[in-house]
Amino acid sequence: MGERGPESDVNLLIKQLSKFDKKQKNQGDKGDQGAERTTIQKKKPRKQELPA
């Protein structure tokens, strides 16, 4: 953080993950796909209930 220049959100997340415990999981959005220990939410099907 505090560095000049553009950097994607997933790269910032990967750098920040080193500060957290290895067992801890994170919840992210579509931009965080590919980062370790990160789950993304499932999109609700149109006109249907969200599966459990």
pLDDT per residue over 5-44, tens digit each?
787 777 887 888 888 888 888 777 777 777 788 888 777 8
**CA-to-CA dists, residue 15 to 35, 44, 50, angstroms:** 10, 30, 33
Handedness of CA 30, 36, 38, 43 (dihedral sign): positive
What is the structure's pLDDT at 38? 82
**What global pTM score does this model have?**
0.51
